């Protein structure tokens, strides 16, 4: 493995994936779901594996003080470029730290945050437990933990819609797949991740779907009403059975007030 495996995928991820209808919908849906759970301003937010700060910048624009931790120097360079284009009052609210997410509590000096985010990261890990344990250690009493993961229960949908029937049959019993960026991605379940959060002292609060309709179609940006698509996705994300069929899921937990968690 290269020292920075994301260095070769940065263009495809930042300039490609996030520029698509699907990428814009992801940011919109997660942002509005987060706002239902984030503490009022002023408050601190930690974005672990935050990459080019696509989820962090909207929060900083609102007034949150956001720290982005990422193991990829290339992705943090992209984040810095985007931050520098912001007004000074937004720039001073964004802090970039290079380091492994599994040591997020160490590289941030043991600080506890009012909200901790980890979106689209666990799917690239063979074992999510060290990362989840570190995330939990970073959550302050009364604070929120927000995790987005690949839905292990819908892995057969994409190959079936692409008429790859043999792959679809195999996916019913698979725990991972090759993602759109060519990397192996592992699936999780709401129940499984909720149990890991409980082990770290984080109680379940709610969960949502992300990408139900847009994941299975390649919508052109130039001719698509992205705002309308995003609103449809946002509505489906909190309703059964729609959220259960989503490509990925968004799990939100909270540490009870007055508890410190594991050291």
| Ordered DSSP codes for the chain | --SSTTTTTHIIIIIIGGGSHHHHHHHHHHHHHHHTTSPPSS-EEEEET-TTTTTHHHHHHHT-EEEEEES-HHHHHHHHHHHHTS-HHHHTTEEEEES-GGGHHHHTTT--EEEEEEES-GGG-S--HHHHHHHHHTEEEEEEEEEEEEBGGGTTHHHHHTT-HHHHHHHTT-SEEE-TTS-EEE-B-HHHHHHHHHHTT-EEEEEEEE-SSGGGS---TTTS-HHHHHHHHHHHTTSTTTGGG-SEEEEEEEPPTT-----
pTM strictly above 0.85:
yes
Nearest to 90 by CA among 115, 62, 113, 110: 62
> What is the pLDDT at residue 15?
60
Give the rounded distance of the alpha carbon of 25 from its chain centre. Answer: 13
> What is the pLDDT at residue 1?
43
Which tokens belong to 35?
A: 């706002």
The residues facing 27 across adjacent strands are none
User: pLDDT truncated to tens, each residue of the chain (263 aa)?
Assistant: 457 765 666 565 566 566 788 888 989 999 999 999 999 999 999 999 999 899 999 999 999 999 999 999 999 999 999 999 999 999 999 999 999 999 999 999 999 999 999 999 999 999 999 999 999 999 999 999 999 999 999 999 989 998 999 999 999 998 888 766 667 889 999 999 999 999 999 999 999 999 899 887 788 888 899 999 999 999 999 999 999 999 999 999 999 997 665 54
> What is the pLDDT at residue 180?
64
> What is the pLDDT at residue 91?
96
> What is the pLDDT at residue 183?
73
d(CA 57, CA 78): 12
Instruction: Indicate the fold that domain 10-254 takes in CATH.
Output: Rossmann fold (3.40.50)
């Amino acid at each position: 493995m290269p020292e920075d495996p994301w260095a070769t995928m940065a263009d495809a991820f930042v300039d490609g994936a996030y520029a698509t209808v699907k990428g814009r919908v992801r940011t919109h849906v997660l942002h509005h779901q987060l706002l239902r759970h984030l503490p009022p301003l002023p408050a601190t937010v930690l974005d672990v594996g935050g990459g080019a700060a696509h989820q962090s910048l909207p929060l900083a624009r609102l007034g949150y003080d956001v720290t982005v931790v990422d193991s990829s120097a290339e992705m943090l360079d992209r984040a810095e470029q985007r931050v520098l284009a912001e007004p000074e009052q937004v720039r001073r609210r964004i802090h970039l730290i290079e380091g492994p997410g599994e040591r997020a509590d160490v590289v941030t000096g043991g600080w506890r945050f009012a909200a901790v985010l980890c979106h689209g990261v666990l799917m690239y890990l063979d074992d999510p437990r060290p990362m989840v344990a570190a995330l939990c250690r970073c959550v302050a009493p009364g604070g929120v933990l927000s995790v987005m993961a690949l839905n292990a229960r819908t892995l057969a949908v994409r190959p079936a819609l692409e008429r790859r029937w043999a792959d679809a049959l195999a996916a019913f019993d698979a725990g991972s797949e090759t993602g759109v960026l060519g990397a192996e991605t592992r699936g999780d379940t709401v129940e499984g991740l909720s149990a890991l959060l409980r082990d770290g002292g984080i109680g379940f609060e709610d969960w949502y779907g992300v990408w139900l309709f847009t994941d299975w179609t390649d919508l052109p940006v130039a001719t698509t009403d992205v705002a309308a698509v995003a609103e449809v996705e946002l509505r489906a994300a909190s309703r059964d059975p729609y959220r259960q069929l989503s490509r990925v899921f968004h799990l939100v937990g909270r540490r009870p007030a007055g508890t410190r968690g594991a050291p």
